[in-house]
């Protein structure tokens, strides 16, 4: 199996598995109990918190662990609107956000919140003038992601935050695909991240909050995370997230150079006839979202079962619906269905990538009835 689906999830780093093991096995105490064991587990969570905060790299705030980035995003959006003054009843976000943002915002729209979805250009980027036109004193929250999960394009988050602040709104950034890969710019008040996209475990995310911008709680109960998020915390998952964040911080330059080399090798291996979806310039290059005239991408994936890659988005895959992101770029249903997403990173070897892409190119040629 050659794994090229790094946007869906990433392989667990050996250092992460090692950091989690004691907390999953013999050191099983409840981190909220006052015993010595409990206090040790609580201390491990605090070490992990510092590691993830340092990887996020923003000043003036702190984070709470959650069960996923999906939870962090639901919390940030619903909790911000709940806390906002009555006259601030608008959310501005983007048509290409992850479902965790779009579906939450749409749910709130069903409750009477005024929702604006900004369009993107054919490069997948928002136009800051469009944003400015939509902003007024009624906006409570502007939510714009850093790196798009389907096409890898990087939105101008610092400028968005500045414009949101100009009208007194808060800015939420979904940095799930950006953490550890590119720097998170200063500006956002709320930042959602997820461990499993940075070689950590599944089932743990976090919401970083600027001091004073904490949303109202989504989960009520024991109040374990400073009264903001309830539920017994998982020391093993937090320790794994911390170890993954520490590694990502230490390896940022090495990982970036590796991805850059892989990107170049990938484009060479593919040959003619492929178009990259989304901006090439403003992009995280571990995401290669490609389309090819007439390609049946579902058939391509079925023909190459020992290569893991995706139909645009892991979340939309299987639903039968063409990706909302590719449609937002202005692609037709047919073009969207002729697109595949190839994702690579730290543990992808150049040899595996080139082999997989040569086979993908050959299978695509075969669909056209041309010998590769």
Instruction: Give the nearer residue to ligand PLP in terms of CB position, either 181 or 346.
Output: 181
- With CA atoms as reference, report the closest residue to 10 among 202, 197, 144: 197
Question: Considering 276, 315, 354, 362, which one is annotated as catalytic?
Answer: 315
Instruction: Give the nearer residue to ligand PLP in terms of CB position, either 75 or 274.
Output: 75
Whether 80 and 130 have beta carbons less than 8 Å apart is answered as no
- With CA atoms as reference, report the closest residue to 195 among 309, 311, 48: 48
Q: Which residues of 154-177 are buried (b: 16+ CB within 10 A; e: fewer)?
A: bbbbebbbebbeebebbbbbbbbb
Q: To 5 degrees, how large is the angle CA 341–CA 205–CA 50? A: 120
Instruction: Give the nearer residue to ligand PLP in terms of CB position, either 172 or 357.
Output: 172
Whether 274 and 315 have beta carbons less than 8 Å apart is answered as no
Specify whether 315 is catalytic.
yes
CB of 268 to ligand PLP, least distance (A): 27
Whether 209 and 190 have beta carbons less than 8 Å apart is answered as yes
Q: Which two tokens stand for residue 318?
A: 């299987």
CB of 101 to ligand PLP, least distance (A): 7
CB of 8 to ligand PLP, least distance (A): 7
SS3 169: coil
CB of 368 to ligand PLP, least distance (A): 32
Instruction: Give the nearer residue to ligand PLP in terms of CB position, either 101 or 356.
Output: 101
State the residues that interact with ligand PLP by CB under 6 A. 68-70, 98, 100, 145, 149, 174, 176-177, 194, 205, 315
Cα gap 2→5, rounded to integer Å: 9
> DSSP secondary structure string, 245-302?
HHHHHHTHHHHHHHHHHHHHHHHHHH-SS-EE-S-SSSB-TTEEEEE-TT--HHHHHH
Cα gap 363→96, rounded to integer Å: 30
Instruction: Give the nearer residue to ligand PLP in terms of CB position, either 68 or 270.
Output: 68
Q: To 5 degrees, how large is the angle CA 323–CA 324–CA 327? A: 90
Length of the chain: 372
- Give kind and range of the element (H or E) at residue 143: strand 139-143
CB of 147 to ligand PLP, least distance (A): 7
CB of 82 to ligand PLP, least distance (A): 21
Instruction: Give the nearer residue to ligand PLP in terms of CB position, either 51 or 177.
Output: 177
Instruction: Give the nearer residue to ligand PLP in terms of CB position, either 51 or 104.
Output: 104
Cα gap 340→167, rounded to integer Å: 39
SS3 133: helix
Enzyme catalytic residues: 315
């Amino acid at each position: 199996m050659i794994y090229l689906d790094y946007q869906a999830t990433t392989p667990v780093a050996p250092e992460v598995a090692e950091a989690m093991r004691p907390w999953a096995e013999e050191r099983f105490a409840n981190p909220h109990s006052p015993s010595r064991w409990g206090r040790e587990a609580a201390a491990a969570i605090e070490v992990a918190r510092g590691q993830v905060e340092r990887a996020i790299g923003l000043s003036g705030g702190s984070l709470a662990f959650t069960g996923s980035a999906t939870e962090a995003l639901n919390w940030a959006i619903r909790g911000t609107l709940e806390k906002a003054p009555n006259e601030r009843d608008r959310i501005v976000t983007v048509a290409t956000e992850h479902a965790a943002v779009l579906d939450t915002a749409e749910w709130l729209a069903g409750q009477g919140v005024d929702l604006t979805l900004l369009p993107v250009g054919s490069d997948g980027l928002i136009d800051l003038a469009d944003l400015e036109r939509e902003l007024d004193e009624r906006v409570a929250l502007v939510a714009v992601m850093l790196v798009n999960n389907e096409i890898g394009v990087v939105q101008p988050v610092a400028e968005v935050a500045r414009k949101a602040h100009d009208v007194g709104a808060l800015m939420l950034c979904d940095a799930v695909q950006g953490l550890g890969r590119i720097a998170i710019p200063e500006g956002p008040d709320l930042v959602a991240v997820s461990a499993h996209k940075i070689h950590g475990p599944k089932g743990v995310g976090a919401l970083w909050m600027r001091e004073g911008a904490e949303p109202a709680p989504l989960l009520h109960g024991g109040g374990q995370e400073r009264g903001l998020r309830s539920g017994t915390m998982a020391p093993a998952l937090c320790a794994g997230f911390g170890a993954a964040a520490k590694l990502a911080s230490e390896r940022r330059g090495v990982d970036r150079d590796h991805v850059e080399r892989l990107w170049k090798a990938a484009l060479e291996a593919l040959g003619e006839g492929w178009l990259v979806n989304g901006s090439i310039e403003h992009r995280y290059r571990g995401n290669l979202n490609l389309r090819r005239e007439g390609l049946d991408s579902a058939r391509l994936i079925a023909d190459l079962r020992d290569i893991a890659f995706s139909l645009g988005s892991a979340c939309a895959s299987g639903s039968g619906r063409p990706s909302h992101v590719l449609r937002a770029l202005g692609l037709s249903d047919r073009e969207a269905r002729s697109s595949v997403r190839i994702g690579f990173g730290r543990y992808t070897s150049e040899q595996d990538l080139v082999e997989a892409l040569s086979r993908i190119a050959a299978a695509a040629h075969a669909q056209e009835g041309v010998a590769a």
